[in-house]
Amino acid sequence: MLPFLNINRNIRSIRRYLNIVRVLSTYGFDQALEMLGFADVVARSRNLFNRKRPDIARLTAAERMRLALEELGPTFIKLGQLLSTRPDIVPHAFVMEFEKLQDSVPSFSFEEAHALIAAELGAPVEQFFAEIDPEPLAAASIAQVHRARLITGENVVIKLRRPGVVAVVEADISALMSLASLAERHISGSELYDPVAVVREFARTIRREMDFSREAHTIEKFRDNFAKTPWMYFPKVYWGQTSKAILTMEFIAGVKVSDTNRIIELGLDGKLIARRGADSFLEMVLTHGFFHGDLHPGNVLILPDNVICLLDYGIVGRLDEGLKTFLMDILAAIVKRDMDEVISLLLFAGDISDSLDSRSLKRDLSNFMDGYYEMPLKELEVGRMLLEFIEIITMYSIRIQPDLMLLAKSLVLIEGTGRALDPSFDMADHLRPFMVKEIRQKFSPRRVSRDMNQILVSYINLARNIPRDLKEIINRVNRNKFKIDLEHRGLDKFTADFDRSINRLSTSMFLAAMIIGSSIIMQTDKGPKIMGFPMLAFMGYTIAGLVGLWLVYAIIRSGRM
């Protein structure tokens, strides 16, 4: 039975599932599909579509995968963009290619936008908006943006979710989850990368991105976090014109942070902007544990008086207390060149494989630090150093939190923008006060007391639960209810091939029996005849011939003589 018959029976999901297999086969990933158990589908795709293209054969695997994702559409482009931030599970060549993915599609019509607004707000559009610009400011796979004016006179922008996109994304997620499950069952070593967990993370991310009311709450949270920072500005959200599919917020007229010439013309202070931006981002990360995850120059506007305004809050990162402590400890250990401490922290906080070669890891980390030895702090790029560090540890199949990947990428963008505004910009100098503050708090009597209380409570709970758990195990054993589940990986393909071989052997035995039986009847020369031959013998030879031809055709088509 084909694997795709076990997935959601929804026709949209099945069609999408088959289309994914066809596209991957077209771009030369037949071997991967066969490993997933799609050998029959791949063979049929070759025969039916014959989609092999000579231009594709000259491309690298990473380039072919990027093109496949682009052809599969918005959901897969978003997946590629997510994977570009995960060098711990995606090879470097694929990360570089996935960074080229562009999330741009044709805009949907103004009539559809008008109908969507009325349906979401539950009243005619004229009750909320005095005018709406029919030409969108921007269009992407999930949403498009229009300028508008409220009936109360405020200039706003409306972010509209693309009609039907939720159904498309859900069908794609269903197909991706099925493929991830197949990968875990069929591909040895895939458990190191946990493909099902990656798809779950992606599903959670894209579902949040499609919920604009969540983005509106994110804006409000940033505003509350920086309520006492006058040089950070966040757009006002108009809740009366906002829903899960619509986000209405204040229109901001400012200068892009990348437009340094315009910043100079307006008399703004590039050095001050760089300093404020760095301090604000580090405050997001190390104080609030909640940071903007998409700080490319197009999402940062500069307002009069060197005020910074951030746009597009669909991607955010979170660092809890444990992750913040881990980050600060790692940075401190790298600065001190204490490789034993670095490895100890990784063993404690990372997802380590059983085959870790700690000696080789220590050697590579030492070589990494030698590259920064005696480098002046003003020349040190913290973001790139962190990315290089992550790249090294991922070579040893050490997985760390995705939010740390997002943080490293964001630091690179912040540092690049800061150096464009101020050539003497030094992120390490801005980071130092936060590290000192964190170290002081870490060893403060209040923090030590809190940590000791947490450890004590954990041990008390463990001691309280041990008798109950032991009693439950003993009771299960006494009732013969104690079970141990064993999972055998990689046997599905063997089972399918074995079943196919048995079926062919059975068919061959049936053919032999038909031929022998027909030959015996032929010798008796009894019963009704056709063309002078006994009818039963003639029918037996005919059936045997047809079945034999079908069997030969099936063997040749499978490519396994």
Hey, which residues are catalytic here?
294
What is the rounded CA–CA span in Å between residue 528 and residue 258?
94
Start-to-end CA span in the chain (Å)? 22
- How, if at all, do strands 529-530 and 533-534 pair? antiparallel
| Residue 408 identity | A
Q: How far is CA 483 from each of CA 62, 271, 465, 466, 473, rounded to the nearest angstrom?
A: 44, 66, 21, 19, 10
Structure tokens at 386: 């962190």
**What's the helix, strand, coil split of the chain in %, to 5?**
65, 10, 25
Amino acid at 96: M
Taking the C-alpha atoms of residue 210 and residue 166, their distance in angstroms, rounded to an integer, is 8
What distance in Å separates the CA atoms of residue 163 and residue 326, rounded to the nearest whole number?
Answer: 42
Residue type, 426: D
| Contacts (Cβ under 8 Å, ≥6 apart) of 57 | 28
| Total Cβ atoms within 10 A of residue 201 | 14
Q: How far apart are CA 120 and CA 243, in angstroms?
A: 7
The structure tokens listed for 389 are 């560090």
Question: Which of 220, 210, 217 is closest to 244 using CA atoms?
Answer: 210
d(CA 121, CA 114): 11
Task: Dump strand ranges (E) for 112-194.
Answer: 129-132, 138-139, 143-150, 155-161
Provide the greatest CA pair distance for the chain. 111
Radius of gyration (C-alpha) of the chain in whole angstroms:
31
DSSP 235: P
Query: What's CA 146's distance to the chain center, in Å?
Result: 28
Give alpha helix (H) positions in 187-307: 195-210, 212-225, 260-265, 270-283
Which residues does residue 155 pair with via DSSP β-bridges, in sequence order?
149
CA distance 61 to 92: 12
Strands 129-132 and 143-150: antiparallel
CA distance 148 to 128: 10
